Amino acid sequence: MKSEKIIKPANGYLMVAVALVLFFGGITITIIKENPIFLLVTLIGFIGFFGFILVNPNTSKVILLFGKYVGTIKDNGLYWANPLFRKKAISLRASNFDSERLKVNDKLGNPVMISTILVWRVTDTYKAAFDVDNYENFVRVQTDAAVRKLASMYPYDNFADEGHTEDITLRSSVNEVSEALEKEIDERLSIAGIEVLEARIGYLAYAQEIASAMLKRQQATAIVAARHKIVEGAVSMVEMAIEQLGKKNIVELDDERKAAMVSNLMVILCGDKEASPVVNTGTLSH
């Protein structure tokens, strides 16, 4: 397989002077000699004007001669080459690509909407021009394919209640997922001589049909986790209260009264609303 070949044709500014001399010189000699044969010099000068190649900064020109690859001009400036050469411009600038939002299934089978932002540029003009049909369309198609594959490799989020405790998720592991996405796209685009500068997820959300249910699920998970912490704290506080009462001999409690106090404290500490105190004006037995 051929590879890129960098060439540098003749200086264009010098050839401008040569072409002008041939063109106007041929006309002048024809008039002086009154011989039309010298119009061939004018014709040569005129044809020479079609050999100029202007290369702007961060662009390149791929040169072909009757379907054969001659080389690539990457240095900006004005050049002159064979007028029969066919020139194909390829940009070397960094380009942004914001993919469409795709509906794909994550590792757990949940439908999610995902898109990516890709920054890329051409590094091998031969591959970009001849190894793929249309390198810009190739970038779009392969990026979508890479995003679909990536989404199926990781879950959207962790759900400890179902035993899914993957370390990397699409929602929380931004750096790891972006690194994996960049590597996947870079491998796919290398065939077209394209370098991936950056690849990141631009949009991520559950699909509309399950978004509401998943939101409730996340809220329920958060509530359960909060309740778990509240219960742990309440048990610790009740244990400390009984221990302190016993150490300081404030009151002696049998097992039945300890159970009643534990029950009351747990209700107060774990309740959603503030407790309403009840004053007992009788004995402890009533």
- What pLDDT does residue 126 have? 92
- What pLDDT does residue 232 have? 76
- Residue-range domains of the chain with CATH: 10-90 (no CATH), 95-206 (3.30.479.30), 212-270 (no CATH)
Q: Is the pTM of this model over 0.85?
A: no
Q: In terms of Cα–Cα distance, which of 85, 87, 81 is closest to 14?
A: 81
- What pLDDT does residue 286 have? 47
Rounded to whole angstroms, the Cα distance separating 196 from 138 reads 13
- What pLDDT does residue 250 have? 67
Sign of CA dihedral 108, 111, 112, 114: positive
Please report, in tens digits, the pLDDT of each residue of the chain (286 residues total): 578 888 888 888 888 888 888 888 888 887 887 777 777 888 888 888 888 889 999 899 999 998 899 999 998 889 988 889 899 999 999 988 888 888 888 887 778 888 888 999 999 999 999 988 899 999 999 998 988 888 888 887 775 545 455 577 877 777 888 888 889 999 999 999 999 998 888 888 877 765 565 666 666 566 666 667 777 777 777 777 777 766 776 666 666 766 777 776 666 666 666 666 665 555 555 4
Beta strand spans in the chain (E): 10-11, 52-55, 59-65, 68-73, 77-80, 86-91, 95-98, 102-105, 111-122, 194-206
Q: In terms of Cα–Cα distance, which of 119, 101, 120, 122 is closest to 111?
A: 101
Q: How many residues does the chain have?
A: 286
Structure tokens at 253: 């409690």
* Helix (H/G/I), strand (E/B), else coil: 156: coil
Q: In terms of Cα–Cα distance, which of 72, 55, 195 is closest to 130?
A: 72
What are phi and psi for residue 101, nearest 5 degrees? -75, 120
Task: Give the H/E segment covering residue 6.
Answer: none
59-65 and 68-73 strand pairing: antiparallel
